[in-house]
Amino acid sequence: MSAHARLADLYARKPVILAPMEDVTDVVFRRLCRRLGATVCVTEFVNVEQLLRGAASARRKVALAPDDQLTGIQIYGADPAKLAAAAQVAEASGPLFIDVNCGCWVPKIVARGAGAGWLRNPAAMVEMAAMVVRMVSLPVTVKTRIGWGPESEMPIVDLARRLEDVGVQALTIHCRTAKQGHLGAADWSWAAKARAVVKIPVMVNGDVCSAADAKRALAETGCAGVMIGRRAIGHPWVFREARALLDLDNENGNGNGNGNGNGNEPSPPTAAERLELCRVHLQENVKARGEPYGVEITRRHFPGYLSGLPQGPALRQALNRCASLSGCLDILAQGEQRLAAGAFF
């Protein structure tokens, strides 16, 4: 099966996708999320200039393990020629697709004309996407926002048509403007409007924080799938929960996971599962990145992983003070002993 056919097949299943997030969606976290139900994952943002000069950080980001094949590599930059050349380099890693970042709103990124900076000039954005498509044989997708600023500058519907016309194979729409950043509510209606005018799959992104949100986003927009970002950092079980709820809709005959299933949202992870994920994530991060860095980069996940446990805050503080894997594992073992004694119930 070709890469284009594989991608189309995955989108036909109403995928729940892990969003690209800098310093988060590395190979270890992608593996954890996939185990918990993420259909497709996307890498951290890869700077095209760093990739073209062979920087170690960029090489790490595009390296895909044998079990990491249902993954797209996301690239970003302001120079169309460099984006196209970097797409060729990324293609050699064997991803499922190449994704172009046209949605990052961070000021230092947009100031260079990269990320959501492309939305200031939609025509240039389309020309850039066409150049990238011509340079690779893999499917090219685009992740973008609904516009740069106010509604008068909201190009997403026409932009979706034009991107489809130049060969972009799928579109992920974060339903806020670039100027909003993470402020305000995501307006999913824009994803629905864009989806209605194209034949390529459209993913809805923004404020998808639960299984119920995923189901509602698909029902309201008719999109091919949902992409989940920030919620996954502390609660990667959201993929398992969303997948279960969408699959339940299918079983109830509501079709492709976007109906009004009669089931309830799946149960949250148990205390034992939360502690186990802390341990697994620590071990795999240290294996991949060494000590103490592997321990340090796991800490951002602890607030969510330990959420709801009566002793969670104290346990988190102890883990945050510990720089060694063995010490962290001892702390978690003590937590499991408390759990066995009923202290976490």
Q: Where in the sequence numbering do the catalytic residues fall?
A: 104
Contact criterion met (CB below 8 Å) for 195 and 214: no
Q: How many helices (H) and strands (E) does the chain have?
A: 17, 8
Place of tokens 């064997």: 94
Contact criterion met (CB below 8 Å) for 109 and 117: yes
Q: What is d(CA 215, CA 211) in angstroms, rounded to the nearest whole number?
A: 6
Residue/partner pairs of 195-198 with CB below 8 Å, 24 or more apart: 195/160, 195/221, 195/222, 195/223, 195/224, 196/222, 197/157, 197/160, 197/161, 198/160, 198/161, 198/164, 198/171
Bridge partners (DSSP) of residue 228 are: 18
